[in-house]
Structure 1
Amino acid sequence: MNNMFFIVILFIQILFLVSTLYSLKTALKADDNIILGVTLPKDKLNDEQVEKLELLYIKNINTLAIVFGLLFVPELLLKIDFAGYPSLEIVYFFAWITSLLISSRRVVHLANKRMRLLKSKNKWGVSGVKTIDINSKKLTYDDEFWPNGINYCNPKDKSFIVSKRIGLGNTVNLGIKKGKIFTFGTLAAVITIAMVLSTYLLLTDFYTPSIYIDGDKIKVSDLDYSTAFNTSEIQDVKLIDEVPKVNKINGALTSIYARGKFDINSYGAGRIFIFKNSSPYIMIRLKDSYIIYNEDNKTKTNSLYEELKARVK
């Protein structure tokens, strides 16, 4: 993973954090007499007890901002390692996003719960609540349809999309079948994609290529770029201490390893399976291409080189 990709990932996280904090703060706007997802009487919006809960909510938002801001530090300190193993950055990215989503929802849920208790304790009734007329029935967007201040759940309302109480835009009605299928289907799809992508990248990063010799057949085994050839195709085998500058055609190139199809100055197109900081490297020259390969330590590489050299006719 190059520096640009690292910067992009970091930028997305910062943008996500800023938008999340902004969304949380919308819960303090008294639109339609709603504070922290709870409908209050208009004359109670500036009540001392309400303001205390608002201050506590702001404090929790600030704590959230500090905690997840500090979680950028491991990325900055471990940038070199992440550059060598892109999967670690991707996994950390998904874990960070997931933790932020869960934590932010918990902040809202706790504030909403406290406000509901305050409203119930003081028996603050609300008159003139907005209503909608569906099938000749009066249905109110009352607090009971917003169990945590975030999700809307009203089986009597056939609306698929409604305006959010907290945050910008709209939310889905979880009280109807279509809303449940859409919400939980989307959630399942996102989790599946994140897990599959993370698993694949981890396997790719920490997979060790290997060479199998079976008679006249030689196979280089790799997750994505395996190749095979006959000993009769080998024109030359030699050890090199450095790999010339390469241009990636298709494959993975990090500060730790290079695997896939590359174009190398003076050699042309070929395949590389190397640990970049573990010289020497075996150069296998074929009729129409080449393969550069090494093991993760010098002894193994030298042993394999001697075995391949013995098979060159």
Structure 2
Amino acid sequence: MNNTFFIVILFLQILFIILSLYSLKTALKAEENIILGVTLPKDKLNDEQVEKIELLYNKNINTLALVFGLLFVPELLLKIDFAGYPSLEIIYFFVWIALLFIYSRRIVYLANKKMRVLKSENNWIETKLESNDKSNKKLTCDDEFWPNGINYYNPKDNSLIVSKRIGMGHTVNLGIKKGKIFTFSTLAAVITIVMGLSVYLLLTDFYTPSIYIDGDKIKVSDLDYSTAFSTSEIQDVKLIDEVPIVNKINGALTSIYARGKFDVNSYGTGKIFIFKKSSPYIMIKLRDSYIIYNEENKIKTNDLYEELKARVK
């Protein structure tokens, strides 16, 4: 992983946390007498008990910002790309986003619950608001349709999309069948994509290429960039101490390994399967290209070199 990719990941995390904090803060705006997703009488908006719940809510938001800000530290300390394995950085990003989403909602749930209890205990009755715009559920005081201040659940309303009470944009009506199908199918798709991508990236990072020799056939096995050739195609085999990569054409390049098609200074375009910190490397010169390969273990690299060298005619 290069520094640019890391900066993009870090920028996205900062953007997510800023948007999350802004969204959480909107719950304190007394729009249409709604505070933390609960409709209150207008004369109770500045009640001391209401303000106490708001103060605790604000404190929890600040704690969230501090904790998730500190979670940037492992990324900064672990040499930007988690010791050369980008999959770990990307999975860390996915986990960070998931936890931010979960704990942001939890802060709202707890504050909404406290406000509902306060309203119920004091028997505060609000005046029902009227609106000509029936699509904007934010203007209603039907708190029973907003069980936690975030989700909208109204089986009597055929609207699929409604305005949020807390946060920006719109939300889905979970009280109707098409709302449930849309929400849970989207959630399933996101989880499937994230899990599938995470597994693939882990396999890519931790898969170890290998060479199989079967008679005069030689195959370099890799997850994405496998190749095969015959011993008759080999023009030369030698050990080299460095691989001066000029350009990546198609492949994976980290501080630990390089795999795929590359331009290498003085050699031109060829395929590389190397652990960058485990020289020497085996240079296999073919008729039209070359392959550079090594094992993570230097002794195995030398043994393989001797075996290949013996097969060159």
TM-score for the superposition, normalised by structure 2? 0.96
Q: CA deviation at 1:261?
A: 0.6
Match of 1:174 in 2: 174
Match of 1:235 in 2: 235
Of stretches 6-15 and 122-131 in structure 1, the one that deviates more from structure 2 is 122-131
1:221 lines up with 2:221 in the alignment: yes
Q: Which amino acid aligns with 1:269?
A: T
| Aligned 8 A contact 1:131 1:141 in 2 | no
Counterpart residue number, 1:104:
104
Cα deviation, residue 160, structure 1? 1.2
Inter-partner Cα distance in structure 2 for 1:121 and 1:140: 22
Q: Matched residue pairs, number? A: 309
Q: Please list, as runs of the form range in 1=range in 2, the aligned pairs for 1:1-313 lying within 5 A after superposition.
A: 1-82=1-82, 84-130=84-130, 141-313=141-313
**Aligned partners of 2:80, 2:306: CA distance in 1, in Å?**
34
Q: Secondary structure at the match of 1:75?
A: helix
Does the aligned pair in 1 maintain the 2:212–2:219 contact within 8 Å? Answer: yes
Q: Deviations over 1:267-304 (max 9, x none)?
A: 12110000001000000000011000000021010000
Quote how far apart the aligned CAs of 1:80 are: 4.1
1:159 to partner: Cα distance: 0.9
What amino acid maps onto 2:185 in structure 1?
A: G
CA–CA distance in structure 1, aligned partners of residues 28 and 266 of structure 2: 66
Whole-angstrom CA distance in 2 between matches of 1:133 and 1:95: 39
- Alignment partner of 2:248: what SS? strand
**SS at structure 2 position matched to 1:82:** coil
Structure 2: gaps spanning 5 or more residues: none
Contact 2:269 2:289 in 1 (8 A): yes
Q: Distance in 2 between matches of 1:115 and 1:109?
A: 10
Contact 1:283 1:291 in 2 (8 A): yes
Distance (whole Å) between structure 2 residues aligned to residue 279 and residue 80 of structure 1? 23
2-side partners of 1:36 and 1:83: how far apart? 43
| Shift of residue 205, structure 1, vs aligned partner | 0.4
How far the C-alpha of 1:266 sits from its partner, in A, is 1.9
- The CA deviation at 1:141 is 4.8
Q: Deviations over 1:64-101 (max 9, x none)?
A: 01100100000110134426111010000000000000
Question: Residues 233 and 254 of structure 1: is their aligned pair in 2 closer, same or farther, counting only changes over 3 Å?
Answer: same
- After superposition, the C-alpha distances for 1:125-179 in whole angstroms (9 at most, x for unaligned) are 1113346798xxxx95511000110010101011111111000111111111111
Deviates more, 1:90-99 or 1:257-266: 257-266
What is the CA–CA distance in structure 1 between the aligned matches of 2:240 and 2:140, rounded to whole Å? 77
Judge conservation of contact 2:128–2:140 (CA < 8 Å) in 1. Answer: no
Find the residue that maps to 2:296 and give its secondary structure.
coil
Q: Which moved more, 1:259-268 or 1:281-290?
A: 259-268
Summarize deviations over 1:13-35 as a string: whole Å, max 9, x none: 00100110010000000001000
Whether contact under 8 Å (1:13, 1:97) holds in the other structure is: yes
Does the CA-based 8 Å contact 1:225-1:259 persist in structure 2?
yes
CA deviations 1:214-267 (Å, max 9, x no partner) are 111100000000001100000000000111233111000111000001111221
- How has the CA–CA distance of structure 1 residues 133 and 15 changed in structure 2, closer, same or farther, with 3 Å as cutoff? closer
For 1:33-87, what per-residue CA distance to the aligned partner results, in whole angstroms no more than 9, with x for missing partners? 0000000011100000000000000000001011001000001101344261110
- 1:130–1:141 CA contact under 8 A, matched in 2: no
Q: What letter is aligned with 2:95? A: A
Q: Percent identity?
A: 83
Structure 2: which amino acid aligns with 1:227?
T
Are the equivalent residues in 1 in contact too, given 2:39–2:141 (CA < 8 A)?
no
For the residue of structure 2 that corresponds to 1:79, the secondary structure is coil
Following superposition, the deviation at residue 8 of structure 1 comes to 0.4
Distance 2:80 2:190 in 1: 28
Distance 1:132 1:152 in 2: 20
The letter of the residue matching 2:87 is: S
User: What are the ranges of 5 or more consecutive residues in structure 1 without an aligned counterpart?
Assistant: none
Contact 1:2–1:83, Cα closer than 8 Å, also in 2: no
| Greater CA drift, 175-184 or 64-73 | 175-184
